[in-house]
A and B are shown apart, each in its own frame.
Chain A
Amino acid sequence: MSALLEVTGITKRYPGVVANDNISLTVNAGEVVALLGENGAGKSTLLKAVFGLIKPDSGEIKISGTPIVFGDTAGVISRGVGMVHQHFQLVPVMSVAENIILGDEPRRGIFINKKAAHDEILALSKRYGLEVDPEAIIEDLPVGMQQRVEILKALRKDVKLLILDEPTAVLTPQEIDELLGVIRNLANSGVGIVLITHKLHEVMAVADRVVVLRGGKLVGATSPKETDEAGLAQMMVGRSVVLQVNRTEAKRGAVVLEVKGLQVRDDRKILSVKGVDLSLHKGEILGVAGVEGNGQREFVEAICGMRHREAGEVLINGVATKDMHPHAVHKAGISHIPEDREKHGLVANYSIADNLVLNQFDQAPFAKGWVRNLAEVAKSAISTVEKFDIRTPSAFNTASSLSGGNKQKVVVARELSEDLPVLIAAQPTRGVDVGSIEFIHNQLISARDKGAAVLLVSAELDEILSLSDRIAVMSDGKIVAIVESKDADRNYIGRLMAGLKE
């Protein structure tokens, strides 16, 4: 019997980089293979080649013993391969059922057979134990539910091989546990699964085998039984990684940022921040913990002047900042790592260098009056790319050519390069590899030690726990508790996040 997926000698070059260098890999039915590697190691490239989204330069890919035609996505899908991409490919204004059947609709004459679609989705959802409401509109659903729709979409055609590219990056811990359960069940029913993730405990929990890429090459294979998280990290990065942050006691200073009675509506005009008071001190990291969708995003956007403040005030050093005016807020002293790097953080077809100065392009030394100083932009870009280890052949490549985690590093680098009194970091390490997480964490701490007031919002409770000096728990649009980190207990915070009273 031939293996379900057999990749032999795949090489893919981009100008200046070999994204995949002679990679061979097999996946058998019923097993979960985790694909690990640093940002830019070539993981997405390899799986895009398998799914027929890009054409490799050489090599061969066989599914159940028969070679695929490079670049023929439709052919690959018809052979029983499904792929879930992290960024949803759902049409926000359409229903769950419509999104799932899109591209291959059950018909009655020239019309879509809605009844058949509805029933099909219900059956599908029952079969895999992934509950969804077929009539719900996508944009009204939380991300975890949207992810479920993505998975159902991939599973709709009897899938033999399921490819998951960082499916857990935006999920809450509970949703992740559920997803890992689904993955296990699918594998037990004979589906072969390839999973990319940067979260090593997920690998330990669900993978049968682990394959590690570095710099486009396959550098090793192991299994969770033979190693531990530190071992995996070492294989990925090629050095030992400190997974635990070394944090000294904070020297808390005066209040810098003050939020008073803030109320904010979300995109659906529903009040999602319901009166928040918070003070952030110089020299501390204040972590905001909470289950995603409890108002954190709206809270951050309102502070940064990107979302209308229904009521309340945001003061920096006692001075009120302007509503809906990100530029003024930035000038007043807030830098902000935005949650949605594709939408707000980057201009995809600008160079990395231009992206690195996006919020300072008109200031010295990057501009002299009206004229941009491109030499300075270039000089600073080259050193930042080096310092943040952004993996690219050149600082003048477009941002769109970067791997996901490297895009994130560009945004983080830009916001950290400014030394403003307040830093608001929303999901700063989303999609970033362990080595770079370590680096970004150290940067946040050193910003704090230099006197910045840091507000950290993260869906990763572990990140909050290990970095924060104080932890504010947000639930249903309110801060339900503020805990000193030395008193913080994982379970207690988890219960608060879930909205339970003590």
Chain B
Amino acid sequence: MSETNVDKKVVKSQSEKSSKNFDVGSWLVPIVAVLVAMSLAAILIKLQGLNPIAAYKSLFKTAFGSIEGLGVTLGKSTPLVLSGLAVAVGLRAGLFNIGAQGQLLSGALAAAWAGVTFDGLPGYIHVPIALIIGAFFGSVVAGISGFLKAYRGVHEVITTIMLNSIVMGVADYLASHQLREPDQFLTRTAEIQPSAKLPIYANLPLGFFIAVVLAIVIWWILGRTTSGFRIETVGRNRHAAWYAGIPVKRTVISAMLISGAIAGLGGAVETLGITYRYAPAFNLGLGFDGITIALLGRVHPIGIIPGAILIGGMRAGAANMQFDSGVAPELVDLLMALILLLVTAPLITRFFKNNSNKSMTSGWGN
């Protein structure tokens, strides 16, 4: 008869893991990718006549070897967790949000404005207001792409890339005109009010905990709520979603709004927790790093956290590494590029394999 009399306990534990199959084997890919990337980079260091072991030792010792170092690492990781999360939420809905960078910049600038402008607020009001304003602007920027995708069919990759340039231009313009620090030579905003600065408790930045809590909340929303189910269904099979009565357009737009809000929050956290002002060139690349981190974390909201910490740590330790071992800090960019290549390569091969399998064997007679 049917093979369905499964042990109730097994069923229970499987359902608790939520219906998304979480398969341990697949987590080997990012781990192997990081190790292989580090080995390849080590060869390059060696070819330069330098000592890779010493370089890595210095890098990780600076990043993770002391409580102060760890604080810096977590500070650097915070916007990375958020931009990775932003990209991941998009991907879950089947959207490739390349625009985390632009959304992050607009959030960073908006938070700087809120941090400078509002005066006389206590910290517990000023900080949340500035964060929310940052998230709001990120959300608006992403919402444009979401709207164009849903109602005009314009691919989000195109619009988010274009918006990256637009946002960067506008933000730099504002930072050198209307929002520029008065009577100063540098193009940048004034420093935010002390009340807007994200507190640091015993070296550990508050922003990081906000990011982690948000990752957990997003994980829960995607896995356990009806909104999350809508997003996932639209991401996996738009036609089935439409047939099942899920409002696809609205879901696409909401996913972009959420994604943009998270990226904007990433920019705001960077402003309020690290840079304390907005200057063009401060946040270069954070949004793009989000793509690597989202893929390194296998598009899983929690999986993103270790990836972000690793990369944040490398960024935190890079300067010291140069001092100790002579290896240029650009090594970190090289590592990022290699990691991106290596985590996407299996995705790409699997994509092709799946697709060819699919086209050859799917169907009624499957």
Given contacts A326-B242, A392-B4, contact A353 B15 (CB under 8 A): yes
Interface size class of B (residues with CB under 8 A): 35 or more
Is residue B11 contacting chain A, with contact meaning CB distance below 8 A? yes
**A86–B360 CA distance with the chains assembled, in angstroms:** 10
Contact of A53 among B239, B242, B357 (CB under 8 A): B357
Chain A 148-182 per-residue mask, 1 if CB under 8 angstroms from chain B, else 0 = 00000000000000000111011000000000000
Is residue B49 contacting chain A, with contact meaning CB distance below 8 A? no
Q: Are B365 and A85 closer than 8 Å at their CB atoms?
A: yes
Q: Are B225 and A371 closer than 8 Å at their CB atoms?
A: yes
Binds A, one of B121-129, B229-237, B311-319: B229-237
Binds A, one of B16-24, B29-37, B84-92: B16-24
Q: Are B224 and A359 closer than 8 Å at their CB atoms?
A: no
Is residue A422 contacting chain B, with contact meaning CB distance below 8 A? no
Q: Which residues of A contact B2 (CB under 8 A)?
A: 385-386, 389-391
Binds B, one of A56-64, A115-123, A343-351: A343-351
Q: Are B4 and A338 closer than 8 Å at their CB atoms?
A: no
Is residue A3 contacting chain B, with contact meaning CB distance below 8 A? no
Contact of A346 among B4, B227, B240, B245 (CB under 8 A): B240
Q: Are A89 and B226 closer than 8 Å at their CB atoms?
A: no
Given contacts A378-B11, A391-B2, A431-B365, contact A372 B240 (CB under 8 A): no
Q: Are B361 and A85 closer than 8 Å at their CB atoms?
A: yes
CB interface residues, B 330-355, toward A, < 8 Å: none
Q: Are B236 and A344 closer than 8 Å at their CB atoms?
A: no
- Name the residue in A89, A338, A353, A393 with the highest tally of chain B Cβ atoms < 10 Å from its Cβ: A89
**A373–B252 CA distance with the chains assembled, in angstroms:** 24
**A367–B247 CA distance with the chains assembled, in angstroms:** 18
Given contacts A372-B224, A378-B12, contact A306 B243 (CB under 8 A): yes
Is residue B6 contacting chain A, with contact meaning CB distance below 8 A? yes
Least CB distance, A190 to chain B, in whole angstroms: 25
Is residue B362 contacting chain A, with contact meaning CB distance below 8 A? yes
**A398–B360 CA distance with the chains assembled, in angstroms:** 19
Q: Are A391 and B3 closer than 8 Å at their CB atoms?
A: yes
Is residue A87 contacting chain B, with contact meaning CB distance below 8 A? yes
**A404–B363 CA distance with the chains assembled, in angstroms:** 7
Q: Which residues of A contact B19 (CB under 8 A)?
A: 350-351, 353-354, 374, 377, 396
Q: Which residues of A contact B243 (CB under 8 A)?
A: 306, 326, 336, 338, 344-345
Least CB distance, B230 to chain A, in whole angstroms: 8
Least CB distance, A169 to chain B, in whole angstroms: 4
**A166–B240 CA distance with the chains assembled, in angstroms:** 24
Instruction: Across the interface, name the chain A residue whose C-beta is closest to B18.
Output: A374
Q: Which residues of A contact B16 (CB under 8 A)?
A: 374
**A391–B5 CA distance with the chains assembled, in angstroms:** 11
Given contacts A370-B227, A393-B6, contact A359 B245 (CB under 8 A): yes
**A395–B4 CA distance with the chains assembled, in angstroms:** 8
Is residue A430 contacting chain B, with contact meaning CB distance below 8 A? yes
Contact of B236 among A44, A53, A347, A386 (CB under 8 A): A347
Given contacts A44-B366, A370-B225, A382-B11, contact A17 B3 (CB under 8 A): yes
Is residue B47 contacting chain A, with contact meaning CB distance below 8 A? no
**A48–B246 CA distance with the chains assembled, in angstroms:** 36
Q: Which residues of B contact A361 (CB under 8 A)?
A: 226, 229
Least CB distance, A396 to chain B, in whole angstroms: 4
Q: Which residues of A contact B14 (CB under 8 A)?
A: 378, 394, 396
Instruction: Across the interface, name the chain A residue whose C-beta is closest to B245.
Output: A327
**A55–B243 CA distance with the chains assembled, in angstroms:** 36
Q: Which residues of A contact B281 (CB under 8 A)?
A: none
Is residue A330 contacting chain B, with contact meaning CB distance below 8 A? yes
Chain B 205-230 per-residue mask, 1 if CB under 8 angstroms from chain A, else 0 = 00000000000000000001111010
Q: Which residues of A contact B10 (CB under 8 A)?
A: 394
Is residue A318 contacting chain B, with contact meaning CB distance below 8 A? no
Q: Are A169 and B364 closer than 8 Å at their CB atoms?
A: yes
Is residue A375 contacting chain B, with contact meaning CB distance below 8 A? yes
Interface size class of A (residues with CB under 8 A): 35 or more
Q: Are B366 and A403 closer than 8 Å at their CB atoms?
A: yes
Q: Are A385 and B4 closer than 8 Å at their CB atoms?
A: yes
Instruction: Across the interface, name the chain A residue whose C-beta is closest to B15.
Output: A378
Given contacts A359-B244, A370-B227, contact A342 B3 (CB under 8 A): no
**A403–B241 CA distance with the chains assembled, in angstroms:** 22
Q: Which residues of A contact B241 (CB under 8 A)?
A: 347
Q: Are A375 and B15 closer than 8 Å at their CB atoms?
A: yes
Q: Which residues of B contact A166 (CB under 8 A)?
A: 363-365
Q: Which residues of B contact A85 (CB under 8 A)?
A: 360-363, 365
Given contacts A344-B243, A392-B4, contact A87 B366 (CB under 8 A): yes
Is residue A441 contacting chain B, with contact meaning CB distance below 8 A? no
Chain A 83-124 per-residue mask, 1 if CB under 8 angstroms from chain B, else 0 = 001111100000000000000000000000000000000000
Q: Which residues of A contact B224 (CB under 8 A)?
A: 371-372, 374
Least CB distance, A499 to chain B, in whole angstroms: 27
Is residue A196 contacting chain B, with contact meaning CB distance below 8 A? yes
Is residue A229 contacting chain B, with contact meaning CB distance below 8 A? no
Q: Which residues of B contact A345 (CB under 8 A)?
A: 240, 243
Is residue B359 contacting chain A, with contact meaning CB distance below 8 A? yes
**A378–B227 CA distance with the chains assembled, in angstroms:** 19
Q: Are A344 and B15 closer than 8 Å at their CB atoms?
A: no
**A338–B233 CA distance with the chains assembled, in angstroms:** 17
Q: Are B15 and A396 closer than 8 Å at their CB atoms?
A: yes
Q: Are B365 and A86 closer than 8 Å at their CB atoms?
A: yes
Q: Which residues of B contact A377 (CB under 8 A)?
A: 15, 19
Instruction: Across the interface, name the chain B residue whose C-beta is closest to A327.
Output: B245
Q: Which residues of B contact A393 (CB under 8 A)?
A: 3, 6
Q: Are A169 and B365 closer than 8 Å at their CB atoms?
A: yes
**A170–B365 CA distance with the chains assembled, in angstroms:** 11
**A348–B241 CA distance with the chains assembled, in angstroms:** 12
Is residue A282 contacting chain B, with contact meaning CB distance below 8 A? no
Q: Are A398 and B21 closer than 8 Å at their CB atoms?
A: yes
Contact of A372 among B5, B21, B225, B245 (CB under 8 A): B225
Give A contacts to B, CB under 8 Å: 16-17, 44, 48, 53, 73, 85-89, 165-167, 169-170, 196, 306, 326-328, 330-331, 336, 338, 342-351, 353-354, 358-359, 361-362, 367, 370-372, 374-375, 377-378, 382, 385-386, 389-396, 398, 403-404, 407, 430-431
Query: 21 A-B residue contacts at CB 8 Å?
Result: A86-B363, A86-B365, A166-B364, A166-B365, A326-B243, A327-B245, A330-B245, A336-B243, A347-B237, A347-B241, A348-B237, A361-B229, A371-B225, A372-B224, A375-B12, A375-B15, A394-B4, A394-B11, A395-B6, A396-B14, A398-B21
Which 8 pairs, one residue from A and one from B, show the smallest C-beta to C-beta distance?
A87-B363, A327-B245, A166-B365, A165-B365, A378-B15, A86-B365, A404-B366, A344-B243
